[in-house]
Chains A and B, each alone.
Chain A
Amino acid sequence: MTGDRLRGWQSMRESRATRIAVVAIEAGLHARPAELFVRRAQQFASTINVIKERQCVDAKSILNVLSLAAEKGTVLTLEAVGEDAEDAVDALAELVNNGFAVDETRNQEQSS
């Protein structure tokens, strides 16, 4: 029992998760969505990479994310390693797939 729990705990700490996401936002991952993406990524402890074709960059660096020039329809692979890897790739994939709809609305409310 204790052994099972320990193994479960260890695998959680070292877990690795991958998601595929397709850029839905019309203008692509320009400065604003890239910033939102990076801020969200920074909320997780895991190491997170974004992969576009042969480019693999740190999801927590805006210079790196902007350098992908991910246009609408671009397929991105999100890879995380760490204790919150699953949550991290889920959250980021949702942002990318849903075109940042939630956050854009929130910003409009804030600025109005």
Chain B
Amino acid sequence: MKFADFVSPEAIRADLEADDKEGVVREMTSALMEAGKVAAEEYESIVKAILKREELGSTGIGRGVAVPHTKHPSVENLVGTVGVSAAGVDFASLDGDKVHLFFLLISPPDRPGDHLRALENISRQLRDETFCKFLKQSKASQDILQLLEEADNNQFVS
């Protein structure tokens, strides 16, 4: 699976304003709502489900990266977006570091394989330090989109 298969370009945010976990989840879910990927009436339900998942254990997987996610019956396909926080957010990460790079995923409950393949793509690409560094330095959503496209074209990982 490629980034283009699940990341909504209009929902990418290079300048997250939130400074805590719930704020980031709300900001990114709003971005998906504004992009028409999630229904307005499902917004609260989705935010709550993502935060509930965080209670089980932080999705801050280290290297300044977090993958907040949930299954939700209101989506028919896997939807996701990318957010960057220049200041970093305390996300209770596994390694304790602040998180600068967020991949938020919402998947249909009956498609665990798609979710797994999206995680596979994100984690595989992020193993490349250059890709990781460039994403964190992105100042505009267009920069992020371009990096994701380059990653999809295997310019970072052979």
Is A63 within 8 A of B116, CB to CB?
no
Is B63 within 8 A of A63, CB to CB?
yes
A17-36 CB contacts (< 8 Å) to partner B: 26-32, 35
Interface size on A, residues (CB 8 A): 20
Is B61 within 8 A of A62, CB to CB?
yes
Provide the bound-state CA to CA distance between A23 and B122, in Å.
Answer: 21
Q: Select which of B62, B94, B115, B124 is within 8 A of A30 by beta carbon.
A: B115
* A15 contacts across to B, CB distance below 8 A: none
What is the 8 Å Cβ interface bit string for chain A, positions 60-88, against chain B (1 contact, 0 not)? 00111011111100000000000000000
Q: Select which of B63, B67, B117 is within 8 A of A31 by beta carbon.
A: B67
Give the distance to chain A from B69, nearest Cβ to Cβ, in Å: 7
Is A71 within 8 A of B62, CB to CB?
no
Is A31 within 8 A of B69, CB to CB?
yes
Is A35 within 8 A of B94, CB to CB?
yes
Q: Select which of B59, B94, B116, B124 is within 8 A of A71 by beta carbon.
A: B116
User: Is B119 in contact with chain A by the CB < 8 A criterion?
Assistant: yes
> Which 5 pairs, one residue from A and one from B, show the smallest C-beta to C-beta distance?
A69-B120, A66-B123, A27-B112, A67-B124, A67-B123
Given contact pairs A30-B115, A32-B56, A111-B55, a sample of 6 additional A-B residue pairs in the complex whose CB atoms are under 8 Å apart: A28-B112, A30-B112, A35-B94, A67-B127, A107-B56, A111-B56
